[in-house]
Structure 1
Amino acid sequence: MTGRRDVVASLPLYKQGAMPTSADVVKLSSNENPYPPLPSVVSALTGALGAINLYPDMGAVRLRSALAQRYGVAPGNIAVGAGSVEVAQQIVHAVAGPGDEVVFAWRSFEAYPIITLIAGATPVAVPLTAGDRHDLDAMAAAITPATKLVFVCTPNNPTGTAPSAAEVEAFLTRVPADVLVVIDEAYVHFNRRPDAVSGMDLFRAHDNVIVLHTFSKAYGLAGLRVGYAVAPEPIADDLRRVSVPFAVTDLAQTAALASLDADRELSARVDRIVAERDRVTAGLAASGWPVGESQANFVWLRAGDDTARVDAALRDAGVLVRAWDGEGLRITIGTPEADDRVLSVLAGIREVIG
């Protein structure tokens, strides 16, 4: 068929976490918040339903102003999109094209190579270390005169690992000033590493740093799609230029604003998820699984050649996780009841496979 771009025809489809087919199936495949929206957020959304016949504020002025006040930056530093992945795509389209390179760790967020190829740029995937961490030395070495952009996903999806502030600062000293570094902090609220890197601290200290955040994870608004970047104003201006008009709906903006006003309640929920994550990690380790320390709302189980077998056992028990055959499984932290089912299945299969 004529009219098709070869690069698009060859793209891998982004793989959504498996969807349940019955009520007794537990979905732990998409890193969703297991708790329903807060009553205050639902109330705000209910009040906004009467205006859905109207276009949203394309500039998201109120939301950008609220975020700017929170971080002590100018509203012009904030760009919004339909989830942080759409903002990441804005960044790639704004700065990279044919002949340019985009560097990222691998395995990391699956969208990075896809959005790079769509822009006509070349993805440069740098393998993780043996401990499933960003190899920042290798990433610095991978930067060439063609490099326009580097993504640092922290905590990393799907491994949950997070670099220290000192490690990223040392990395930035090796990055040319004209190369943008995106600190993708989709899971930042769950990071309890004492020396964790802060994207906002880096943004304030470096002219070539962009920070990505989302309302999908900790705030539990995955179904409404709203994320944002904190970027140097000229870059943020360009992100708005390449963004899809009206992509962030009025309902999404309303829910995000209401969520910012409910920090105390949401922080308590995040603390519950972190405590549950630590319980699941300890339970897996007690069963003999080689599970690393995660700083996200999921755990990474490196199962290697046993990955498909473990995934099948979980599916047979009505548990859906995200598996990469030959590598491992990413298991989202759910309710205690859902997690107990995971621990029971994995303890049993560990006895079988040794």
Structure 2
Amino acid sequence: MSDAAESVTESAPPREVHGAPEAAVRLREVLGQMPDYKPGKAAAAPAGVTAFKVSSNENPYGPLPSVLAAIGDGATTINRYPDMAVTALTQRLAKALDVPPECIATGTGSVAVLAQIVTAACDAGDEVVFAWRSFEAYPIVTQLAGAKPVMVGLDAEARHRLDAMFAAITDRTRVILVCTPNNPTGPCAGQAELEAFLDKVPSDVIVVVDEAYVEFVRDPEAVRGLEVWRHRPNVVVLRTFSKAYGLAGLRVGYAVAHPPVAAALRKTATPFGVNSLAQVAAIASLDAFDELSERVDSLVAERDRVVQALADQGWKLPRSDANFVWFPLGSDSTAFSEACQEAGLMVRQYGDDGVRVTIGEAEANSRLIEVAAAFGPR
């Protein structure tokens, strides 16, 4: 051992806690200031009651047989690294979306692509503007990048206030996030209002149109992200295979961006992040979209059934164009969550803001209607 090493060892012996050395490492201060991401709780219910997990906006249907077959075939080569460029999926997406392949960047779910965007755009102290409440990963990925989250409250109908978001822009603003339909509240931003907003936003600020739930949208006035993107160099459209496509467990999402931005997103991606099974499953899902769309239509029909039943009971909820409904219950949120759990429904509570319930199996949806009727509209 060198003299220097001996000096360090003698002057700073490791302290032990319960028999193990205590780590003397320095971690980033922001980790103690930012919230943890909270996944939806697993299904749980009292004895004798069927449990349903309606807390994570998952698709209740299992993979299509053709998708399972593709995964099985792909499993024979998992001893090899996946294609880091995600070439086949990129080309298939380009064909499906009618965009150039160089405009697509992939990642391990849309939340990872979101982190790639913020990392590519923000230096320490820069700002990211988004509505609140919205997707809970937004403040997390912002702060991890060393940027500052600027949260703009929703309006009385749980919609984005784009004028207020414009007013929040400063010379440090680098990214604006527009979640449409908004998670967890459900409404879409309108196409006309977004275009008017973008007319005012500085052209060097990236505006992300987060369309994780776009396949469930039926509002004719809703944002059409790709249409906006085609003539706006600073717009990025963010999408996922986790919701409508039912591939949440495989983690694959993508962005459509103009070539300079898309290239930056590929630079900030985790190497080999999109695994080989996710790639083949996503391609097989795109090939089977007609079959998948029937499932999406059935979920939309179930959503409409639930929304109408709740309206008939007297509930006044925000419009949802996603695969969930939002109960803005305030201080009654905990009581409603507990009532749902007693009925076998594991829902997603957001403190005292409200409760989000995923549209799941028909039995789960009917049980939600029953719980809401017993609880009484608020």
Task: Indicate whether the TM-score tops 0.5.
Answer: yes
Structure 2: unaligned runs, 5 residues or longer: 1-23
| 2:218 paired residue number | 192
CA distance in 2, matches of 1:181, 1:145: 15
CA distance in 1, matches of 2:312, 2:362: 17
The letter of the residue matching 1:7 is V
Select the residue among 63, 66, 85 that pairs with 1:37. Answer: 63
Does 1:56 pair with 2:82? yes
| 1:225 paired residue number | 251
The letter of the residue matching 1:202 is V
Select the residue among 25, 38, 41 that pairs with 1:15. Answer: 38
| 1:139 paired residue number | 165
CA distance in 1, matches of 2:351, 2:77: 46
Contact kept in structure 1, 2:41 and 2:55, CA below 8 Å? yes
The letter of the residue matching 1:71 is L
CA distance in 1, matches of 2:144, 2:323: 29
Q: Which segment drifts farther, 26-35 or 280-289?
A: 280-289
Select the residue among 273, 276, 291 that pairs with 2:302. Answer: 276
Deviation (angstroms), 1:21: 4.2
Q: Deviation string for 1:87-125 (max 9, x for gaps)? A: 000000000121210000000000000000000000000
Does 1:6 pair with 2:29? yes
Select the residue among 173, 182, 199 that pairs with 2:208. Answer: 182
| 1:240 paired residue number | 266
Select the residue among 306, 329, 354 that pairs with 2:332. Answer: 306
Aligned residues: 352
Does 1:115 pair with 2:141? yes
Identical-pair percentage: 54
Q: Which segment drifts farther, 20-29 or 70-79?
A: 20-29
| 2:348 paired residue number | 322
The letter of the residue matching 1:46 is G
| 1:46 paired residue number | 72
Deviation (angstroms), 1:24: 2.5
SS at 1:162's partner residue? coil
Does 1:342 pair with 2:368? yes
1:150-169 equivalences under 5 Å are: 150-169=176-195
Deviation (angstroms), 1:244: 0.7
CA distance in 2, matches of 1:53, 1:20: 34
Contact kept in structure 2, 1:290 and 1:302, CA below 8 Å? no
Contact kept in structure 1, 2:239 and 2:255, CA below 8 Å? yes
Say which one has the larger Rg.
2
CA distance in 1, matches of 2:344, 2:98: 46
Deviation (angstroms), 1:339: 0.7
| 1:170 paired residue number | 196
CA distance in 2, matches of 1:346, 1:204: 43
| 1:85 paired residue number | 111
CA distance in 2, matches of 1:77, 1:91: 14
Does 1:68 pair with 2:133? no
CA distance in 2, matches of 1:320, 1:24: 11
Deviation (angstroms), 1:73: 1.9
Does 1:285 pair with 2:308? no
| 2:7 paired residue number | none
Contact kept in structure 2, 1:12 and 1:114, CA below 8 Å? yes
SS at 2:355's partner residue? strand
| 1:297 paired residue number | 323
Deviation (angstroms), 1:74: 1.6
SS at 2:178's partner residue? strand
Select the residue among 102, 122, 132 that pairs with 2:128. Answer: 102
SS at 1:205's partner residue? coil
Contact kept in structure 1, 2:302 and 2:359, CA below 8 Å? yes
CA distance in 2, matches of 1:234, 1:81: 17
**TM-score (ref. length: structure 1):** 0.97
Does 1:205 pair with 2:228? no
Deviation (angstroms), 1:139: 0.3
| 2:275 paired residue number | 249
CA distance in 2, matches of 1:301, 1:161: 13
Deviation (angstroms), 1:290: 2.0
Q: Deviation string for 1:26-75 (max 9, x for gaps)? A: 10000000111111101111111111111100110000011112222221
CA distance in 1, matches of 2:259, 2:130: 24
Contact kept in structure 1, 2:44 and 2:345, CA below 8 Å? no
CA distance in 1, matches of 2:220, 2:99: 25
Q: Deviation string for 1:211-253 (max 9, x for gaps)? A: 0010000000000000000011111111111111111100000
Q: Deviation string for 1:193-222 (max 9, x for gaps)? A: 012211101110111100001000000000
CA distance in 2, matches of 1:71, 1:340: 36
